[in-house]
Structure 1
Amino acid sequence: MKTAKLANIADIQTGPFGSQLHKEDYVDAGTPIVTVEHLGWRKLSNKNVPFVSESDAHRLSKYSLEQGDIVFSRVGSVDRCSQVSENEAGWLFSGRCLRVRPNDPMIDPDYLYYFLTLPKTQEFIRAIAVGATMPSINTSLLGEVDIDLPPLSEQVSIAKVLGALDDKIAANQRTIRDCESLSEALFRKTSATADITTLGKELELHYGKALPKKSRIPGKVTVVGSGGISGFHNEKLLDGPSIIVGRKGTIGTVHWISGPNYPIDTTFWVESKRLPLELLYFLLKSCDFASMNTDSAVPGLNRKNAYQVVVPWISDDSASEIGPLLKTLRARQEHARKENQVLARTRDELLPLLMSGRITVGEAEEAADEAASES
């Protein structure tokens, strides 16, 4: 198999330096400019993307993005990268990033992206980064990455198999977001004209249990802290589904955990007095717990204070009407999440096998089909 240095098959460009673009140049609307926090798996995020004016975008046209470009983090997590889709064509990238643009017609951009996400490739990039406290890479360093290049047709076929898995994962993520948005809209509509009550009349908040990391034994039980999932253990406190609320540190966060779980002592777990859990979840999300910090050193949420929070009173009739709808939407979300776990695991297993030639594209397609049927 042919191998080439990245520098020989792609143009690698550093983003604009601070002297060319300042934070005060950002405007409320204009051309988006992506930086490190917008780099996700495969796709760029458009969440909280800053903008520059039309005149600045013209001045910085050298740093414009095209479909198929790959954007790398230049500092920090230097192995982190995303690929530009048609939706981000024309956006700019910041000085904290590097842009990789294939310049050889025999290179498939999608294949190149997946090769650059290989564990061995990312390990190499981390190893060549410079800087003890803040790792960084530049165009010369990134250009030293060796890229294995099978024939173009095979590159396209490999990227197609992996891309199909990622496309299905993305579709499931949209389903999850849509179900969450619809559920929240149903709750808002139901609670808009409701009377009020206090939170303590609807639920009980129970303290989680201490579980130091050194005491955890690997298992399949989800360990939940105030910030969300913090690991796995072999012992459960709750069967699930459960609602976990951040009590210490990241206070007021509300987490839905579908399976067996172990809420630790930085959390409360919720017991309902009347309402279905699916409804309580959105009731809790509507509460402004973050403003109820009672501690100075580490933020904390006092249970008695939480019980006094005023919330909508959802009648039994309304709960009977909306509860089954929320439960159905939650079930769809959980199915999509579980399917994504299988699909992501399959993609991660196939990636090195395909790139090394240890399995054929046909075998990979069969594995992908099996993963889809399994989920």
Structure 2
Amino acid sequence: MKYKLKDIATIKYGKNQKKVVSEDGTIPIYGTGGLMAYATEALYDKPSVLIGRKGTISKIRYVTHPFWTVDTLFYTIINENIVRPRFLYYLMTQVDLLQFNEGTTIPSLRIETLNRFEFDIPTLKEQDEILSKLEPIAEKIELNTMINDNLAA
């Protein structure tokens, strides 16, 4: 069935991290470039797809732990009655976000633009079957990347 992104996820703005950043923090603070620091509290604590708002807009991330995002990075509240969060992540990685760039000097995306994206979403059972095939491959790639990084170091 076809769904617009706005029907399967609510896109939220990140917030300024100054009040929560701490050397004693354990909650990751993400920006479009990746991990920036750690916070004492989470902005959101459920699985989420992170989408760049300004800067590195083409790198989609998926998190399952509590986190904080700064204002250059969107996070999503996913309607899990329609789509598995990890499945949405895989769908979003297939979109060339740079073609939707709305910035003049710094790559930028707007919620209104993202909300119009349309996806063909299979049933939850079909998503689970697809994920059961994709996840072992993704885990193997991640493990190999870590091994290669260790060898390079």
Report deviation, 1:333: 3.2
Q: Map Cα deviations across residues 108-135 of structure 1 (whole Å, 9 max, x no partner).
A: xxxxxxxxxxxxxxxxxxxxxxxxxxxx
Is the alpha carbon distance of 1:241 and 1:294 closer, same or farther for their aligned partners in structure 2, counting shifts above 3 Å?
Answer: same
- Matched ranges for 1:261-300 at <5 A: 261-273=67-79, 274-300=82-108
Q: Map Cα deviations across residues 327-358 of structure 1 (whole Å, 9 max, x no partner).
A: 6827x839x76xx7xxx7xxxxxxxxxxxxxx
1:314 aligns with 2:121: yes
Partners of 1:206 and 1:269 within 8 A in 2: yes
Q: Map Cα deviations across residues 124-154 of structure 1 (whole Å, 9 max, x no partner).
A: xxxxxxxxxxxxxxxxxxxxxxxxxxxxxxx
User: Could you tell me which amino acid in structure 2 is paired with residue 256 of structure 1?
Assistant: Y
- Alpha-carbon distance in structure 1 between the residues aligned to 2:15 and 2:132: 28
Point out the structure with max Rg over C-alpha.
1
Report deviation, 1:197: 3.8
2:21 is aligned, of 216, 219, 237, to: 216
- Aligned sequence identity (%): 24
CA RMSD of aligned residues (A): 2.7
- Matched ranges for 1:327-366 at <5 A: 329=135, 333=139
Partners of 1:209 and 1:264 within 8 A in 2: yes
- Alpha-carbon distance in structure 2 between the residues aligned to 1:325 and 1:309: 21
- Alpha-carbon distance in structure 2 between the residues aligned to 1:324 and 1:237: 31
- Alpha-carbon distance in structure 1 between the residues aligned to 2:129 and 2:47: 15
> Runs of at least 4 residues of structure 1 off by over 4 A?
none
Report deviation, 1:310: 2.9
- Alpha-carbon distance in structure 2 between the residues aligned to 1:208 and 1:327: 31
SS at match of 1:210: coil
SS at match of 1:283: helix
* Structure richer in helix, relative to its length: 1
Report deviation, 1:247: 0.8
User: Could you tell me which amino acid in structure 2 is paired with residue 263 of structure 1?
Assistant: T
- Alpha-carbon distance in structure 1 between the residues aligned to 2:112 and 2:39: 30
Structure 2: segments with no counterpart, 5+ residues:
none
Partners of 1:278 and 1:327 within 8 A in 2: no
Report deviation, 1:283: 1.2
Q: Map Cα deviations across residues 141-169 of structure 1 (whole Å, 9 max, x no partner).
A: xxxxxxxxxxxxxxxxxxxxxxxxxxxxx
Q: Map Cα deviations across residues 8-48 of structure 1 (whole Å, 9 max, x no partner).
A: xxxxxxxxxxxxxxxxxxxxxxxxxxxxxxxxxxxxxxxxx
- Alpha-carbon distance in structure 1 between the residues aligned to 2:41 and 2:7: 31
Partners of 2:6 and 2:115 within 8 A in 1: yes
- Matched ranges for 1:11-22 at <5 A: none
Structure 1: segments with no counterpart, 5+ residues:
1-194, 345-375
Is the alpha carbon distance of 1:263 and 1:201 closer, same or farther for their aligned partners in structure 2, counting shifts above 3 Å?
Answer: same
User: Could you tell me which amino acid in structure 1 is paired with residue 38 of structure 2?
Assistant: F
Partner of 1:326: 131
Q: Map Cα deviations across residues 348-371 of structure 1 (whole Å, 9 max, x no partner).
A: xxxxxxxxxxxxxxxxxxxxxxxx
Partner of 1:226: 32
SS at match of 2:68: strand
